[in-house]
Amino acid sequence: MIGYWILFGAIAVISYLVQANLKNKFERYSKIPTENGMTGREIALKMLHDNGIYDVQVTHTPGMLTDHYNPMNKTVNLSEGVYASNSVAAAAVAAHECGHAVQHARAYAPLRLRSALVPIVQFSSGIVPWILLIGMLTLQVFKGLMLLGIILFAMTTLFSFVTLPVEIDASRRALAWLNSAGITTVRTHDKATDALRSAAYTYVIAALSSLATLLYYVMIYLGGRRE
């Protein structure tokens, strides 16, 4: 059990460092403009149109690093530091989110699986902590309750791991297009690559953290069954 707490602590520290690194990279590359001066919004529209996508809108969303693609209403939502910025960071983020739109248009299988899991994860996220808590307290009486919580939490863990290929592929599409479209050059392409790689690490840590938590609950459940 002590080993698991050490693992949780290590993941928490690494997660903090990865988030801090991402913020640092974004701030640094936000100060470096692209050669053509296109804003995040203009880059997003160009990438969509270059991929034959005309039914996706590019909108503005408040906050920092809140950028996302919404497949439900087909919108690329760019944050305050991306939408009107002509920086390398903005170009990378805008292209990455459009990479998800391209995935959607091409029926990319991992994205379809992640979208199918969204309703389950949204439903379970609010009740799973309570089910697991009550399940642990009543494990000797109602073993099935904690097992239910573990199964629902496993869906969240699966969602985290399915997210990895989705995010990595979106970055791959983004970087390939940024290079071929001339948005990034020899001077800036490695910086765009570095920014997206730093963002990808956050998803890796999230997936590992979810897996470690799942194993922790499984261990409690199995230990309770043996008593």
The total domain count for the chain is: 1
Q: What angle do CA 40, 166, 212 make, to 5 degrees?
A: 120
The whole domain housing 33 covers 2-226
Tokens for 5, please give them: 């707490």
DSSP state of 63: S
Closest by Cα among 30, 5, 21 to 202: 21
Q: Walk along the chain (227 residues) and give the pLDDT tens digit of each residue.
A: 676 677 778 888 988 898 898 889 999 999 999 999 999 999 999 999 999 999 999 999 998 889 999 999 999 999 988 999 999 999 999 999 999 999 999 999 999 999 999 999 998 888 999 999 898 888 777 778 989 999 999 999 999 999 999 999 999 999 999 999 999 999 999 999 999 999 999 999 999 999 999 998 998 888 765 55
Would you state the pLDDT for residue 173?
A: 97
CA distances from 55 to 38, 49, 61, 170, 173 (A): 21, 9, 19, 19, 19
pTM attached to this predicted model: 0.89
Would you state the pLDDT for residue 52?
A: 97
Q: Is 77 helix (H, G, I), strand (E, B) or coil?
A: strand
Distance CA 110, CA 95 (A): 19
Would you state the pLDDT for residue 222?
A: 85
Closest by Cα among 13, 4, 46 to 183: 46
Would you state the pLDDT for residue 140?
A: 75
Closest by Cα among 77, 81, 78 to 28: 81
